[in-house]
Amino acid sequence: MAHALIALAFVGAYLTAEGERWRAWHVTLGYVLAVALAFRVVYGLVGPRPARVSAWFRKLAAAPPWWRAAVAAARDARPGALPWRQGQNLAMAAVIAAIVLALPVLLLSGLAPHLGWVGGAAADALSELHEALGEAVPGLVLLHVGLVLALSLLRRQNQARPMLDGRVPGAGPDLARRNHGALALLLAAAAAGIDAGQRPPAQAPGAPSASAASAHRHGDDD
């Protein structure tokens, strides 16, 4: 559920980033993304072992020895000695870690100016950072999706299915004893409730819109 909310909220926020007409949706989806990401990080710290965030970084810790093995295999012209499967896992872990590290910066750089936590030059700088990351993070997301598709073809196994049903093929113990359906529904309800909390109040006929009032204030400030 957290993965689905993060993906849907990010795509929705990206599609509504341009134009004042969609600004309310953009901000609302940003809040949904923040809640889902915060839950995922907390769950990755205290949840079951297969969902731990530390699993990604344990894989990344194997990068230096893998690189030394790759250099040795290339030097000796022994491509068969290269640990290809570990390299694939490292690539996936690196992309996931990059997304997880970039998303909080993307969220804070957008919310801080919107909520008035900063102003002036700092707000302008954060807005520019937010826009730059908004163009860069989709590249990481597409790389992540591309790796999932490529590994599914290479390994002849659907690499996306475990994100849907929580199971991998083959014999072995159940690492997660049961699904936490109630927790997933609670997270979905919290995300759905954000939209209601972000709805603007009804305006009297002929009253200026919030965006128009904001633009007028900015004009006065200038």
What SS3 state is found at 175?
coil
For residue 21, the number of C-alpha atoms closer than 13 Å in the C-beta half-sphere is: 2
Tokens of 97: 């870690």
C-alpha span between 12 and 33 (Å, rounded) = 10
C-alpha span between 8 and 3 (Å, rounded) = 9
What DSSP string runs through 15-26? HTSSSGGGHHHH
**Residue 172 contacts by C-beta under 8 Å, 6 or more apart in sequence?**
none
Provide the residue-wise pLDDT of the chain in tens; the chain has 222 residues.
999 999 999 999 999 998 788 888 999 999 999 999 999 999 988 887 778 888 877 888 888 888 888 888 888 777 777 778 888 888 988 998 899 899 999 999 999 998 889 889 999 999 999 999 999 999 999 999 999 999 999 888 888 888 777 777 777 776 777 778 899 999 999 988 886 556 554 444 454 444 443 444 344 444
Tokens of 22: 């969609």
User: Considering the entire predicted model, what is its pTM?
Assistant: 0.78
* 57 touches 49 (CB < 8 A): no
Look up residue 102 and give its amino acid: A
